[in-house]
Structure 1
Amino acid sequence: MSTDTTIAFLGCGSMNEAILGGLLAGGLPPSNVTVTVRRPERAKELADRHGVTALSNNENPQANSQAAAGAEIVIMGVKPVGIQDLAAGIAPALKPETVVISVAAAVSISMMEAELPEGQPVIRSMPNTPSKVGRGVVALAAGTHASEDTMARAKDIFSASGTVVVVPEEQIDAVSAVSGSGPAYAFYLAESMAAAGEKLGLDPETARILARDTVAGAGALLSEPDADAEALRIAVTSPNGTTAAALETFTAMGLPDVIEAGARAAAARAAEITAGLQK
């Protein structure tokens, strides 16, 4: 990404701050970034930590519009229920070429475009929490007026947070069910492994460390170039061995079906939230 790019982060919770941190680590000058948050204490915290310009909406009701007016890229990171109002609020301040990106779940491209000037480039993104450590997965969906060049710029921005994929918007709910919610599935697995270890006689702290670091280590193996989950599983599963006994039990008890059902429930809930946000 060009170090001349100016970016406004409207809302800076954990996800937007993770993206911000990745960009700054990649060479974007802090002077090119403006952040808006509600509380002045949070604004000072971000300014002190990152060296960026940070504005408080509580102190300056025009903070979002001011930040958007000076930016080539605007990243909206407020809660889903606030995205449409935020888009409408900054619309008069945007330059026609400014790219507006949402990191909020459930808010469709059409819902954002309806609040923004005709022809405004819009991108919908779905990041996940490992973006905080540069190991996230971010899916991008192009709006009606987002060109290939616009998408390339967005990919460049989010690549600082991890892997970036481009999907049609109709697949975003499926993305949310796999990678958006996926870290919680891995954490749940680690919790369950630790609980099983305790029941097998391990003390709670030892069980927690074993489960946590095993899941983290397996993830590191999966992050290697050309890594394949099935191949890694097969490599560690000796015929008639202990791992095989466990995996055969998982399959017999329907674990793959349970995971699929959970993902379908997550995708369905995302669609319900979107419907509930329609004006």
Structure 2
Amino acid sequence: MENQIINYSDNEKIIELCNFGMDIGEHSILKDISLDISFNDIVLLYGPRNSGKSSLLRSFVHLNEELYNDVKGKGGIFFEGNNVNELDRKYLRSQITYVDPTFVENLNILTLSEVINLSLGLKLKDISKEHFDILEKLGLSKKFSDLDNLKVHNSLKSWSIGEKILLITFISLARNPKVFMFDSILDHLDDFLLKDVKEILYDMKKDRTLIISTRNLNLFSDIANKIIFIENGQIQYNGTMDSFMMNFPR
């Protein structure tokens, strides 16, 4: 199948789920989910622990099948009008980036040069001005400023959790996908770093779609234009933040 490339304008759907459900073995994880996400949306995927948030996001890029045996899907997920089951997975994951807290743990076994090479196909000396501008916005540019600093900071074991999350955010931005999915990873930033990252994310929305999964409604309600509330594998609400606060007071 030839991949259909669409240039989206505001309010046009980029992802659509039609009666989607998922079972793992005998357990029903996601149930009859229908929703759409538009280009330029900042979507808050909100729900308690084990509500199905991660399973839902991983479904967009076929990651559940790599984590579990006997995964069965029902209904359909469409990206740019194409069923994700019919899209090449490498292409799909270049267009939709998914990151979660396990990415932070995995950084401990790699060096900075290995991470940049594996994720972006670059050597540290080949970081472009555009990349450096992103690093500067994230407060990481000093680590990349010269070869001496790169040597000092090459071991990621010495980086703080916040710095590792910012590095993962940089890699996500540098890959320039159409959809970013941050699965609970931004919840771990302190207030000051979170403020800076939120400003960057809000500026990004003119070029792409952001989906932020969280258990903390207050952290991101100020930048999201849409909220999806999921509980027990089912969508309980899908709409604006103002309407959600009126109908589901927390």
Normalised by the size of structure 1, how large is the TM-score?
A: 0.32
Which structure has the bigger radius of gyration? 1
Task: Kindly indicate whether structure 1 or structure 2 has the higher relative contact order, using CA contacts under 8 Å at least 6 residues apart.
Answer: 2
Query: Which structure carries more helix by proportion?
Result: 1
Query: Which structure carries more strand by proportion?
Result: 2
